[in-house]
Amino acid sequence: MIKRHPFLFLSASPEFALESYAVRAVNYVLKPISSDKLFSILDELVEQIEAEKNEDAIIVKSTEGIQKILISSLVFVEVIGRNVLYHLLSGRVIECIESFSSACDSLLKFNCFIKPHRSYLVNMQYIEAIHHNQITLRTLSTIPIVQGKTKDIKAQYLAYQMEGND
């Protein structure tokens, strides 16, 4: 994956503004520009770069090669046979041949994950509802809850929500 650097255009001419989108410019600013406006734009750009740099992620070895998975885009993880499947918000599924316990070790470090079943990890950011024996996610996927564990799962989810998480 190629790391892109942000482009910011400062120009006296508006004629190339549309073309700036072809190189994914973050902004096209017409001169003259006040120092306040310029500093505001640059501050916003620095915040965007810092947010991307600091976002939590894990690195996995998938059947397609080494991949970075952002925690914010990971809805749930399941194990089927010897394969661990990472289900992303986009609908994409990243398949890895690794132990599920290794995936659990990596993900349970983040306070947003719970393990409602021996074969699943769920990102609590995406929980829509918790029923007697299953979790419904915003993606409409349903995840089973081990019998007798529903009360504990609800308590963990409530604690997560009380911490001010999404």
Distance CA 129, CA 154 (A): 10
Residues 42 and 62 placed together within one structural domain of the fold: no
Q: Give me the count of residues in the chain.
A: 166
Give pLDDT tens digits for 55-104.
789 999 998 888 889 999 999 999 999 999 999 999 999 999 899 999 99
Q: Which of 154, 131, 144, 132 is nearest to 76 (CA)?
A: 144
> Are 71 and 97 part of one and the same domain?
yes
Compute the distance between CA of residue 113 and CA of residue 104 in angstroms, rounded to an integer.
9
Asked if residue 74 and residue 38 are part of one domain, the reply reads: no
Assess if residue 3 is contained within a domain: no
Q: Do 114 and 64 sit in the same domain of this protein?
A: yes
31 & 99 share domain: no
One domain for residues 142 and 85: yes
Q: If pLDDT is split at 50, 70 and 90, which confidence band does 3 have?
A: low
| pLDDT in the model for residue 164 | 72
Q: Specify which residues 114 forms β-bridges with.
A: 122
Of 143, 149, 147, nearest to 129 by C-alpha is 143
Domain residues for the domain of 116 are 57-162
User: Is the Cβ–Cβ distance between 120 and 161 less than 8 Å?
Assistant: no
Calculate mean pLDDT across residues 126-148. Answer: 95
Per the structure, the count of domains in the chain is: 2
The Cβ-side half-sphere exposure at 9, using a 13 Å CA radius, reads 19
- List Cβ neighbours of 151 (8 Å cut-off, separation of 6 or more): none
Cβ-proximal residues to 70 (8 Å cutoff; 6+ apart), any chain: 55, 56, 57
106 and 68 part of one domain? yes
More confident call, 63 vs 121: 121
CA angle in degrees (0–180, nearest 5) for 142-148-149: 60
Query: Is 29 a member of any domain?
Result: yes
Asked whether residue 1 is assigned to any structural domain, the reply reads no
Instruction: pLDDT band for 158, please (50, 70, 90 cuts).
Output: very high
Residues 41 and 61 in one domain: no
pTM of the model: 0.68
User: Residue 116 and residue 114: Cα distance in Å, rounded?
Assistant: 6
Q: What is the pLDDT of residue 52?
A: 65
- Report the pLDDT averaged over residues 26-49: 83
- What single string gives the DSSP state of each residue in 102-145? HHHHHHTTSTTEEEEETTEEEEGGGEEEE-SSEEEETTS-EEE-
Report the percent of the chain where pLDDT is more than 90.
Answer: 56
Residue 138 in this model has a pLDDT that exceeds 90: yes
User: How would residue 2 be classed by pLDDT, with cut points 50, 70 and 90?
Assistant: very low
- pLDDT of residue 26 exceeding 90, the answer is no
Same-domain check for residues 68 and 124? yes
In this structure, are 36 and 114 located in the same domain? no
